[in-house]
């Protein structure tokens, strides 16, 4: 299946960011409300993104050719060996996956850097963390859209997984990106430097380190299954074996 691009309104994603999720990414105690200047910074970051944010995503559905003890084989010929990814697809008996690239957009990263450069580090920090929260809200938004489209065929979209999460090594980020990437010949995508043109997916560029530009971006795979059930944000943490994660919602446990 060819790549599909999505561009939900920034205001919709800004409103979808739950206070508890934002506080978690700020490192703030979940049962303690923000007050005073901190509450003002949080509200201003949300308002800024509602007005100026440009979330974007791209997806591609790919059939699963097979899952053995150590690898996932896709119909494109790509083969992934990350243990977390193999286990996830085996656990839900996945017959297809949706590869996805998502970003809160380069605009919020530029604005956060501008605030830091202007001597306003608190405002820059709150914008940076709100960008991360938007990416997580975008994953949930995208999952709902994909679930609605898949439901008539009796399919369910399961919680997502990304390279670098636990035992799925970051080294497979490049292989996943290749399933979605377009040629970088020509000018850079809007919001990126001209010398950033290269292998990219829309505004999302894969760096040599395996990181992504702009910063608030994510590559992920969502498994399709004919099992009943709905994914929750905590499910992703329950099956992510990334040790020492500062943002975990729930303890790790295998879903099998």
- Across the range 159-186, mean pLDDT stands at 80
Q: How many CA atoms lie within 13 A of 55 on its CB side?
A: 31
Q: List the structure tokens of 142.
A: 């995208």
- Across the range 174-197, mean pLDDT stands at 55
Q: What is the pLDDT of residue 130?
A: 98
CATH 1.10.10.10 corresponds to the domain 4-238: no
Give 76-95 pLDDT, tens digit per residue. Answer: 999 999 888 898 899 889 99
**How far is 229 from 19, CA to CA, in rounded Å?**
26
Residue 93 falls in which region: left (phi positive, over 0), alpha (psi -120 to 50) or beta: left
Inter-residue contact 241 to 166 (CB < 8 Å): yes
Q: What is the pLDDT of residue 31?
A: 81
- Across the range 227-231, mean pLDDT stands at 63
SS3 for 157-224, per residue?
Answer: EEEEECCCCCCCCHHHHHHHHHCCCECCCCCCCCCCCHHHCCCEECCEEECCCCCEECCCEEEEEEEE
Q: Please give the share of the chain, as a percent, with pLDDT higher than 90.
A: 66
DSSP string of 237-255, one letter each residue: HHT---TT-TT-SS-----
**How far is 218 from 226, CA to CA, in rounded Å?**
26
CB burial of residue 3 (10 Å; 0-12, 13-18, 19+): middle
Q: What is the pLDDT of residue 183?
A: 35
Instruction: Find tokens 């978690």 and name the residue.
Output: 24
- CA dist list (Å): 31 to 20, 23, 34, 128, 241: 9, 9, 10, 22, 26
Inter-residue contact 93 to 87 (CB < 8 Å): no
- The average confidence (pLDDT) of the chain is 85
More confident position, 232 or 53: 53
Q: What is the pLDDT of residue 185?
A: 32
Q: Residue 136 pLDDT more than 70?
A: yes
Expressed in percent and rounded to 5, the helix, strand and coil fractions of the chain are 40, 20, 40
Q: List the structure tokens of 15.
A: 């409103």
Q: Residue 198 pLDDT more than 80?
A: no
Q: What is the pLDDT of residue 51?
A: 98
Q: Residue 192 pLDDT more than 60?
A: no
Q: Please give the share of the chain, as a percent, with pLDDT higher than 70.
A: 82
Strands across the sheet containing 212-213: 200-201, 204-206, 212-213
Q: Residue 70 pLDDT more than 50?
A: yes
- Total residue length of the chain: 256
């Amino acid at each position: 299946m060819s790549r599909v691009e999505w561009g939900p309104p920034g205001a919709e994603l800004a409103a979808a960011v739950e206070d508890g999720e934002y506080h978690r990414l700020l490192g703030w105690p979940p049962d303690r409300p923000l007050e005073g200047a901190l509450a003002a910074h949080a509200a201003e970051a949300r308002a800024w993104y509602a007005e100026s944010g440009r979330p974007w995503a791209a997806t591609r559905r790919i059939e699963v050719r097979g899952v053995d003890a150590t690898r996932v084989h896709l119909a494109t010929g790509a083969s992934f060996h990350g243990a977390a990814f193999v286990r996830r697809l085996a656990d839900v008996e996945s017959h297809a996956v949706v590869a996805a690239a998502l970003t809160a957009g380069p605009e919020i990263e530029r604005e956060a850097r501008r605030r830091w450069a202007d001597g306003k580090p608190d405002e820059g920090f709150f914008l940076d963390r709100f960008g991360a929260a938007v990416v997580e809200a975008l994953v949930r938004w995208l999952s709902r859209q994909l679930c609605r489209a898949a439901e008539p065929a009796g399919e369910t979209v399961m919680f997502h997984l990304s390279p670098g999460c636990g035992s799925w090594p970051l080294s497979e980020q490049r292989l996943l990106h290749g399933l979605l990437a377009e040629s970088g010949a020509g000018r850079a995508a809007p919001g990126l430097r001209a010398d950033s043109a290269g292998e990219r997916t829309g505004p999302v560029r894969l760096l040599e380190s395996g990181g992504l530009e702009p910063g608030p971006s994510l590559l992920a795979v969502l498994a399709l299954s004919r099992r009943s059930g709905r994914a929750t944000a905590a499910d992703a943490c329950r099956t992510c074996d990334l040790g020492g994660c500062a943002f975990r919602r729930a303890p790790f446990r295998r879903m099998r």
